[in-house]
Amino acid sequence: MSEKGNILYEDDVTSEWKDLSLGQLLLKQLTLHGTCVAQELFLQCIEKYRIENLILVPPLMVFLAKHPLVDKYDLSSVKVIACGAAPLSEEIYEAVTKRLNVPVIKQGYGLTETTLSVLWSTGDKAKPGSFMLAPGMSAKIIPLGEFETDKTLGPNCRGELCFKGDLIMKGYCNDEESTRATIDKDGWLHTGDVGYYDKERYFYIVDRVKELIKYKGYQVPPAELEAILLTYPGVRDAAVIGIPEEIAGELPMAFIVKQDNSNVREEDIIQYVNERVSNPKRLRGGIRFINSIPKTASGKILRRLLRDSLQSKL
């Protein structure tokens, strides 16, 4: 039995610990005499050294899909791209494959509590934005908000992703309460992520349960709206949060980073999104233009900071 922080896992199951936090990446780079590069230097290195394999996080994928700098460099050497640590939308997936002429982007899904990836895409069999279950693992989808339940959802029904198998942690060290709140009596790890699978058993990640916007009882995934916003010409990056509203509960609101020299207008973007979503998902909270979207080193949007920025201006 080994311990990492307060996570317990089996030595004979987990061969290495992967951590994509900023601190870990920086320390590993320095220890191994590596180099941390800026965006343009990143492109220069690919062109100069004819890099074939890239291991990226979603913010760099958005950069490759949307930034005009990319057109200045020859990236034709790139043959394989792997992406993980945060959800990657189908729109960004397709934009990168088309722009770089890379046939498939490999993806993986896992948590600290799963020790390694439990869902992963492989070669030509992968559908954009989808995953297949790792060997030796079991998965199920359960209704949201139901922990100890025997109910499972069928294909194309959204619910909470749960996993069981040898890769799952044994529990949180010296914290039985948190362990019981995460792993049920039958050994299923509850991820807190919303997802579903299709009839061919491909899995899709929708969003974090706690990130869902509650509009008049409807659950609105911010990631779905963000994926649509990123397809709008002139939008470089986007994030969506729920803002409080007395009658509806929460209203979806978008933060937008414009492309350089873009003259996109709030009303045009709102109309574009509203034409592509159901009524509860419309951007009733409006849009705010900002210089950058705050994110973690692994690409997860820091929605709390966006909410705080609104509060500070009240």
- Tens-of-pLDDT digits for all 314 residues of the chain? 344 455 554 544 333 334 444 444 444 454 555 555 577 899 999 999 999 999 888 888 988 998 889 999 999 999 999 888 777 877 888 899 999 999 888 888 888 899 888 998 855 555 767 889 999 999 999 999 888 888 999 999 999 999 999 999 999 998 999 999 999 999 999 999 999 999 999 998 888 888 899 999 898 999 899 989 999 999 999 999 999 998 899 999 999 999 988 999 999 999 999 999 999 999 999 999 999 999 887 778 899 999 998 876 65
CATH number of 22-109: 3.40.50.980
How high is the pLDDT of residue 31? Answer: 52
Identify the architecture of domain 112-119+128-208 in CATH: Roll (2.30)
Q: CB within 8 A of 38, min separation 6: which ones?
A: none
Identify which of 309, 250, 306 has the alpha carbon closest to the alpha carbon of residue 283.
Answer: 250
- The domain covering 213-312 belongs, at the CATH homologous superfamily level, to ANL, C-terminal domain (3.30.300.30)
| Domain limits, CATH 3.30.300.30, in the chain | 213-312
φ, ψ (nearest 5 deg) of residue 269: -65, -45
| Domain limits, CATH 3.40.50.980, in the chain | 22-109
How high is the pLDDT of residue 246? Answer: 87
44: buried, middle or exposed (CB in 10 Å: 19+, 13-18, 0-12)? middle
Cβ atoms within 10 Å of 169's Cβ, excluding its own: 23
Q: Whole-angstrom Cα distance, residue 100 to residue 255?
A: 27
Q: CB within 8 A of 60, min separation 6: which ones?
A: 42
How high is the pLDDT of residue 313? Answer: 65
Collapse the DSSP code of 235 into the 3-class scheme (helix H, G, I; strand E, B; otherwise coil) and give the result: strand
- Global pTM reads 0.70
| Domain limits, CATH 2.30.38.10, in the chain | 112-119+128-208
